[in-house]
Amino acid sequence: MEEHRIGFIFCVCTGKCPGFAQLDIWDFINIVRTEYPVEYGFIHPMLCDEDGERFLEEFLRQGSKYIVAGCAPVMQKKLFRDAFKKAGLDINKDLIPLDVRNMKLKEALNVVKTALREAGRDV
């Protein structure tokens, strides 16, 4: 089976959204990027704003899958549909959307681990 690169983006809704108040966002991203089998991990303040869309259009590329930790998967699919399409990606296969709102660190890390295992990674 072809192994895709998996990039990890954590979208934090400006960083002031109460949905992330329980989560130490810096511990979360640093554990994922250094300890989990992803190519990289970083925080974006608002992927669904206009600059976020421009960023995705510049950044997304074929051959990669993208875990986006942030809001509800159904929401993410609506918000990122155009950017994935423009990049020639299939939002239903190339986006792995994770809802990590209202979680503490351990719970959010478990959500990421489960998604990585489902994508065939050992973690």
Cα separation, 117 vs 20, in Å, equals: 24
Binding ligand SF4 (rule: CB under 6 A), the pick from 29, 47, 67, 115 is: 47
Cα separation, 45 vs 38, in Å, equals: 20
Q: Which stretch binds ligand SF4 (CB under 6 A): 1-9, 27-35, 46-54, 112-120?
A: 46-54
**30 contact partners, CB below 8 Å, separation of at least 6:** none
Query: Which parts of 11-40 interact with ligand SF4 (CB under 6 A)?
Result: 11, 13
The residues that touch ligand SF4, with contacts defined as CB under 6 A, are: 11, 13, 46-48, 70-71, 75-76, 79
